[in-house]
A and B are shown apart, each in its own frame.
Chain A
Amino acid sequence: MTISSLWLAAGFNLIIGLVLGNILYRGDFCIAGILRDQFLFRDRTLLRPLLLAVGLTLSLFTLVRYTGMLPATPPPTFGTPSLTGIAGGWLFGIGMVLAGGCVISTLYKMGGGNLSHSVAFMGIVAGSVLYAELQPLFDRLYSAGKFTEISFINQKWPLAAEVTNLLVMLFTVFFALRWYRASLLKIVAAAHGYLQPWKIAVWLALLNLSAYLVNGWPLGISKAYLNIGVWLETQLFPAHVLHSPTIFQQTRLTMMNSTGEMYDPYMLTELPLMAGILAGSLLTAVFLKEFNVYGLPPCRQGLSAFTGGILMALGARMSNGCNIKFMLGGLPLLSIEAVLFVSGMLLGAWHGAKLLPLVITPITAKKELLSSDTPSIRPT
């Protein structure tokens, strides 16, 4: 990449982030909530659009690969699988339920003014730094848990992978039509500017494809938290960071620019994406006249959000990625790392849903007696 193309890449990811911030805020499309509610309330309303997003992404990746616009070789951001991927996914699943959102929904909800999610954000940054400090230990676990050198199913079983791709594409079309005819994709919500979740699914697939085409790999964001954490640590404890070189070797991916200097490509993709989501959701909340900061959450809820953030970060770093990278990018590419992470994450979301009622703070209702002819609803 040249210097100008580096800036173009950063600008492009910022724009993707702005769009994501807008659509996710409008539809309140929270993957953590979708999975949690499946276990907590058996509510599958938004699970369909999420499955649609995964199926559409796989279909687009496959079709565009057939045209030759995407390389046949898998993206460099996915590594060889280890059993730590399941453990990481499990921690991530518990963490996102406790925090009330994943690494993406934390951003768009924070952009809307919610302080509880700001606490979760700080937890994710703190957890990323904690992982960096403990990296030698986690590296040993990662090596011990490695059981194959195959990263993608198509590397070992290309025919099986192509059959799987075609089957998922057919299932996606079949279920999309079936759900559409049964009106199961039409969601009723009274929020102003509400965007139907099936439209968000289409947007997610298109944005992920465009990121793959431009960056060379699908969307991901968790390393941006690590970049922020390491930067903060460098500012606060420069002497410590100087003697901890492993902190700067977290992303497992470096590239060389035209002047021969090494750089971290995630700084150009994930950080602008993060900034875009924050700005996109903030602008949308302001535009919809909804932006407001209602104060800090109750202590127990704040603690839960912070702890959840730490667990999410530890899980993401142990697995080398987050739910966005693995669920919306890795699964459609039939990455074994993604299969392990998502399996662990589902288990974690189930356990998190069991834990959650214990940490929710009871809220006292205020009672007022009004006569029948007195309007009980405040004027708008």
Chain B
Amino acid sequence: MSSADTAIETIELDILGQVCPACLLVVLKQINLYRDRLRDGKARLLVLTDHRDTTRTVPASAQKMGLCVEVRKVSTYYEIIIGGKS
């Protein structure tokens, strides 16, 4: 299997400094745009946010859509990684 076949597309969404509900709305838009690829594990959505409530709303919404979610604190902000079936 070539590396091109197994390549994972990472879609980075930088919403640092944004206010609610822009954070959730833009993330939902991206999830809907890449939903099949995210489910198949061909793509991952990487959200960079400093908005604390987004660590509640985005994982809850993504999990409702059947997607895997991981949240990590990096420096002064949070990374939310969405991709793969839950």
Contact = CB atoms under 8 A, between A and B. Distances in A.
Interface in B15-65: 15-22, 24-26, 30, 44-46, 50-53, 55-57, 59-60
Contacts of B12: 365-368
A109 interface: yes
A301 B20 contact: no
Contacts of B74: 378, 380
From DSSP, what is the main secondary structure of chain B's interface residues? Answer: mixed
Contacts of A295: 17
Nearest to B73: A192
Interface stretch (A133-141, A225-233, A286-294): A286-294
Interface of A is mostly: loop
A241 interface: no
Given A33-B21, A367-B10, A371-B8, A376 B52 contact: no
A368 B45 CA distance: 10
B45 to A, nearest CB: 8
B30 A191 contact: no
Contacts of B77: 290, 292
Q: Considering residues B46, B52, B60, which has the most beta carbons from chain A within 10 angstroms of its beta carbon?
A: B52
A114 B7 contact: no
Given A190-B59, A365-B30, A377-B72, A116 B17 contact: yes
Interface size class of B (residues with CB under 8 A): 35 or more
A163 interface: no
Nearest to B15: A363
Contacts of B22: 100, 301, 360-361, 363
Interface in A176-232: 187-192, 194
A337 interface: no
Interface of B: 3, 6-22, 24-26, 30, 44-46, 50-53, 55-57, 59-60, 70-79, 81
16 contacts: A113-B50, A191-B53, A191-B55, A194-B52, A297-B18, A301-B18, A360-B25, A360-B26, A363-B26, A365-B30, A366-B12, A367-B10, A369-B8, A373-B6, A377-B46, A377-B72
Given A297-B19, A362-B26, A370-B7, 20 more contacts: A26-B52, A36-B21, A41-B24, A109-B19, A114-B19, A188-B60, A190-B56, A289-B75, A289-B76, A292-B76, A305-B19, A363-B22, A365-B13, A367-B11, A369-B10, A370-B8, A371-B6, A378-B74, A380-B73, A380-B74
